[in-house]
Amino acid sequence: MATETLTAAATAPGASPRRRRGGTRSNENLAGWLFVAPVIAILGLFLLLPILMAFWVSLTDWNGQGSPFTGDVPFVGAHNYTRLFTEDGLARRDFMTSIRNNIYYVAIVVPAQTALALGLALVVNNRMLKGKSFFRSAFYFPSVTSSVAISVVFLFLFANSGAVNALLGFFGIDGPEWFADSRGVLHLLFGVVGVDSPPAALTGGGPLGLSWWDWLAGPSVAMISIITLVVWTTSGTFMLMFLAGLQNVPVALDEASTLDGASRWQRFRHVTLPLLRPTTFLVLTLGTIGSWQVFDQVYVMSQGDPAKTTLTPAYLSYRTAFRDFDYGSGAAISFVLFLIIIVLTLIQRRVLAERDTDRPRRGWWRRRVPERS
């Protein structure tokens, strides 16, 4: 993977081989269209069309009776969206609470699962390791198990008298009532430094219907247990991706840098990590998308409780549509979520791509790669 990018980058500034369409090409065009037609039809019918229909629903006040595509369904324009952002009310507060929860969730899950996956991949990629395939399957195992089954197991682990609290008790720590505890972790930390009740400056007001104090709550103790679960289950899949990336790293480079006197950390930092950048981007992107869409763990373990601290936009959208019969609002929430994910992915792409160009050491390894290929 890395090699391809590099050679492409090397040739790009020179000749730009743009093809011209000639007479003989038109036949190929038609054939091309014919070949992609089935895929376009299937994707269009099962992907694009439902999305467009859902978008239409998000502009209406459809109550779930009969077809949403008749004149009887009240059209409300962008009201379902403005309700989420500009009108003070329960809809906005619920939505913003869910956004807050998910921001903290993503902020912890994505770095943690990426780091853990990379660590695991490095371990099982070690040439000296014995029983490699055993560890590879063991680490991958959580990913192939049903998330619902794992969620139920975690419910037992994190029960008040469950294994986690028993373990904490072994060290003399009185574990919390995990799934009943709605206190935010940041609030708890503030409590440690003596800020128990919110200062007036933070409760007064805040953006989008939540006070600053609420925004700064941090993930609740209940959310932490869900985070632990997700990090544990997803790291296996991402380990597999990192492992594939690591096996693409030429051994010769590693050896060459060793000869140049690079320490183990330097080799990791300046040889392995840069070569893994495409994989890292993939893992970060998939991780971000997946963690913004978290649903089944919440559905199985907490249903948004305690005190709405595990409510996420995906679950809120489901609840609004199927419990409150407010399909328009539910669809609107999912489109906002969609936008959030798209925007974040683009930003991520930007950030990772820019780091590629201003890296001073780049030339050092670039010269060597073509020799191998």
Partner 1 sequence: MAPHTIARAAVAGFAAVALLGSAACGSGFDDSSGDAAQSSGPASLQILIGSSGEAETKAVQEAAAKWATSSGNTATVTPAQDLTQQLGQALAGGTPPDVFYVDAAQFADYASVGALEPYGDKISNSGDFYESLRTAFTYDGKLYCAPKDFSTLALQINTDLWAKAGLTDADVPTTWEQLTAAAQKIKAKGQVPLALGDTRDRIGAFMVQNGGWLLSKDGKQPTADTPENLAALQYIRTMLTTGLAKYPKQLDAGWSGEAFGRGKAVMTIEGNWITGALKNDFPNVKYKVVALPAGPKGQGTLSFTQCWGIAAKSRYKDQAIKFVEAMTSGEQQLIFAKAVGVMPSRQSVRDQYTAANPEDKPFIDGAAYAQGPVNAPKMDSVLKDFDTGLQGLANGDPKTVLQNFDKNAKAALGTS
By beta-carbon proximity to partner 1, the closer residue of 69 and 141 is 69
Task: Using the minimum distance from each CB to partner 1, give the nearer residue, 96 or 109.
Answer: 96
d(CA 48, CA 234): 28
User: What are residue 105's DSSP bridge partners?
Assistant: none
Tell me how far, at minimum, the Cβ of 71 lies from partner 1, in Å: 9
Minimum CB distance to partner 1 smaller for 165 or for 272:
165
Bridge partners of 220?
184
60 bridge partner residues? 75
Residue 341: other Cβ atoms inside 10 A: 17
Least distance in angstroms from the C-beta of 40 to partner 1: 4
Phi, then psi, of 217 in degrees rounded to 5: -65, -30
CA distances from 205 to 76, 88, 214, 258 (A): 30, 12, 10, 57
Closest approach, Cβ 202 to partner 1, in A, equals: 17
Q: Which is nearer to partner 1, 117 or 333 (CB)?
A: 333
d(CA 211, CA 97): 11
Q: Which is nearer to partner 1, 290 or 304 (CB)?
A: 304
Q: Do 245 and 1 meet the contact criterion of CB atoms below 8 Å apart?
A: yes
In the bound complex, what is the minimum distance in angstroms from residue 180's beta carbon to partner 1? Answer: 3
Nearer to partner 1, 126 or 160 (CB): 160
Closest distance to partner 1 from the beta carbon of 325 (Å): 5
Binding residues vs partner 1 (CB under 8 A): 18-19, 32-33, 36-37, 40-41, 43-45, 48-49, 52-53, 63-67, 69-70, 72, 89-91, 94, 159-161, 177, 179-180, 182, 304-308, 319-327
Q: At closest approach, how far in Å is the CB of 328 from partner 1?
A: 12
Other C-beta atoms lying within 10 Å of the C-beta of residue 57? 23
DSSP secondary structure code for residue 294 in this structure: -
Least distance to partner 1, CB of residue 181, Å: 9
How many residues in the chain?
Answer: 373
- With a CB cutoff of 8 Å and minimum separation 6, the contacts of 153 are none
Nearer to partner 1, 214 or 267 (CB): 214
Q: Angle at CA 77, nearest 5°, toward 89 and 343?
A: 75
